[in-house]
Amino acid sequence: MRRDIRWRVALPISFFLVALQPALRAFPAGSFLPDFGLVLLFVFIPAVGSRSPWFPPILVFWVGAFRAGVSAISPLSSWAGFGLSILLRRWVHRQVSPHSFFLRFSVGVISAIPSTSMDALVSAQWGVAFPMEVFWARCLGVGLLWAFFTRPSSLRRGLRS
Amino acid sequence: MRSAERSRQGALRAVGWTVFLGLVLFPSPSVETVVGNIVAPVAIPVAYVGAWAFQWLHPNPLISQDKDVERLAELPSVSLAEEEQKTGYPDPVSGLAWLEVPVVETDLERGRLWLAAGEDFALASGQAVVFGNYWVGRIGKVFEQRAEVELWIAPGARTGVELLRQGSSVSGVCLGRGQKALPLIRWIQPTGHPASGDRILWRASEEDPPALAKKKYLLGVLLRGGDESRGAGEWSADVALPLAVEGRVWVGAGAIGDSTVAEPSVRHAKCLPVLRGDAVLLGPWQSMIQEEPQFASALIWNGFALGAIKAQRSRYLWALGLTQEDWAEQGFPMRSSVTGFVSSFTRGGDGVPRGLQLGFSLPCSFEVLSGSETVHQSMEGEKE
Does the CB of B279 have a partner CB in chain A at under 8 Å? Answer: yes
Whole-angstrom distance, CA of residue B46 vs CA of residue B82: 43
In the predicted model, is pLDDT for residue B345 greater than 80? no
Give me the residues paired with residue B366 across strands.
B271
- Distance CA(B369)–CA(B361), nearest Å, equals 16
Q: Verify whether the Cβ–Cβ distance A70 to B47 is below 8 Å.
A: yes
Choice among A30-34, B106-110, B185-189, B353-357 with the minimum mean pLDDT? B353-357
**Average pLDDT of the residues in B105-129:** 86
In chain A, residues with a C-beta closer than 8 Å to the C-beta of B278 are 22, 25, 70-73
Given a cut of 60, whether residue B170 has pLDDT beyond it is yes
* Mean pLDDT of all residues in B286-307: 81
Cβ contact (<8 Å) for A18 and B281?
no
Q: Does pLDDT of B350 surpass 70?
A: no
CA distance B264 to B369: 13
Give me the amino acid identity at A42.
F
Residue B7 has pLDDT above 70, yes or no: yes
DSSP letter for each residue of chain A: -HHHHHHHHHHHHHHHHHHHHHHHHTSTTGGGSPPHHHHHHHHHS-SS--S-SSHHHHHHHHHHHHHHHH-SS-HHHHHHHHHHHHHHHHHHHHHS-TT-HHHHHHHHHHHHHHHHHHHHHHHHHHT----HHHHHHHHHHHHHHHHHH--TTGGGSSS--
For B171-227, what is each residue's pLDDT tens digit?
Answer: 899 999 888 888 888 888 888 788 888 889 999 888 888 888 888 898 988 888 877
The list of chain A residues with pLDDT below 70 reads 1-4, 152-161
Has residue B60 got a pLDDT over 60? yes
Q: Is the pLDDT of residue B16 over 60?
A: yes
Partners of residue A121 in chain B, C-beta under 8 Å = 24-25
Euclidean distance between CA atoms B220 and B238, whole angstroms? 5
List of domains in chain B: 36-79+265-377 (no CATH), 96-253 (2.40.10.340)
- Read off the amino acid at residue B353: P
What pLDDT band is residue B374 in, cutting at 50, 70 and 90?
very low
Provide the number of CB pairs (under 8 Å) joining chain A to chain B: 147
Contacts of A76 in chain B (CB under 8 A): 20, 23-24, 27, 31-32, 35
For residues B230 and B289, which has the higher predicted lDDT (pLDDT)? B289
Measure the CA–CA gap between B112 and B100, rounded to whole angstroms.
17
Question: Is residue A112 classed exposed, middle or buried when 0-12, 13-18 and 19+ CB atoms within 10 A define those classes?
Answer: buried
For position B265, what pLDDT does the model report?
66
End-to-end CA distance of chain A: 12
How many C-beta neighbours within 10 Å does residue B14 have?
11
Q: Please report the pLDDT score of residue A138 as a whole number.
A: 95
- CA B338, distance to chain mean position in Å, is 24
Measured CA to CA, the distance from residue B51 to residue B43 in angstroms comes to 12
Looking at per-residue confidence, does B44 or B64 come out higher?
B44
Percent of chain B with pLDDT over 70: 80
Q: Which residues of chain B make contact with A123, given a CB cutoff of 8 A?
A: 281-282
For residue B326, list chain A residues with Cβ-Cβ distance below 8 A: 127
Whether B366 shows a pLDDT value over 80: the answer reads: no
Return contacts of B334-338, CB within 8 angstroms, 24+ apart: B334/B78, B334/B80, B334/B83, B336/B76, B336/B78, B336/B83, B337/B83, B337/B86, B338/B78
Specify whether the CB–CB gap between B334 and B268 falls below 8 A. no
**Range in A65-74, B288-297, B325-334, B370-379 with the lowest mean pLDDT:** B370-379
- How does pLDDT run across A54-68, given as a tens digit for each residue? 888 899 999 999 999
Residue B367, pLDDT score:
53
Q: Which of B320, B28, B44, B294 is nearest to A68 (CA)?
A: B44
Quote the CA–CA distance of B308 and B322 in Å, as a whole number: 8
Task: State the nearest Cα–Cα gap between A157 and chain B, in angstroms.
Answer: 24
Closest by Cβ to A128, choosing from B25, B282, B316: B282
The mean-pLDDT minimum among A126-140, B46-60, B146-160, B339-353 falls in B339-353
CA B49 to chain CA centroid, nearest Å: 38
**Res B380: pLDDT:** 34
- Other Cβ atoms closer than 10 A to B152: 28
Closest CA to B182 of B240, B112, B242: B240
Query: In the 3-class helix/strand/coil scheme, how is chain B assigned residue by residue?
Result: CHHHHHHHHHHHHHHHHHHHHHHHHCCCHHHHHHHHHHHHHHHHHHHHHHHHHHHHHCCCCCCCHHHHHHHHHHCCCCCHHHHHHHHHCCCCECCEEEEEEEEEEEECCCCEEEECCCHHHCCCCCCEEEECCEEEEEEEEECCCCEEEEECCCCCCEEEEEEEECCEEEEEEEECCCCCCCCEEECCCCCCCCCCCCEEEECCCCCCCHHHHCCCCEEEEEEEECCHHHCCCEEEEEECCCHHHHCEEEEEECCCCCCCECCCCEEEEEEEEEEECCCCCCCCEEEEEECCCCCCCEEEECCEEEEEEEEEECCEEEEEECCHHHHHHHEEEEECCCCCCEEEEECCECCECCCCEECCCCCCCEEEEEECHHHHHHHHCCCC
B315–chain A nearest CA distance, Å: 12
More confident residue, B261 or B126: B126
Name which residue leads in pLDDT, B53 or A153. Answer: B53
Q: What mean pLDDT is predicted for residues B271-293?
A: 87
The average pLDDT across B315-344 equals 72
What mean pLDDT comes out for the span B66-93? 72
Burial B373-384 (b: 16+ CB within 10 A, else e): eebbebbeebee
Lowest-confidence range among B160-169, B251-260, B310-319?
A: B251-260
pLDDT at B28: 85
Identity of the highest mean pLDDT range in B62-71, B266-275, B333-342: B266-275
Residue to substitute from B280, B314, B322, interface A, most A β-carbons within 10 A: B280
Q: Is B279 left (phi over 0), alpha (psi -120 to 50) or beta?
A: alpha
For B199, counting Cβ atoms within 10 Å of its Cβ (0-12 exposed, 13-18 middle, 19+ buried), the class is: middle
Nearest-CA distance A150 → chain B (Å): 24
Q: Report, as an integer, the average pLDDT of B225-249.
A: 81
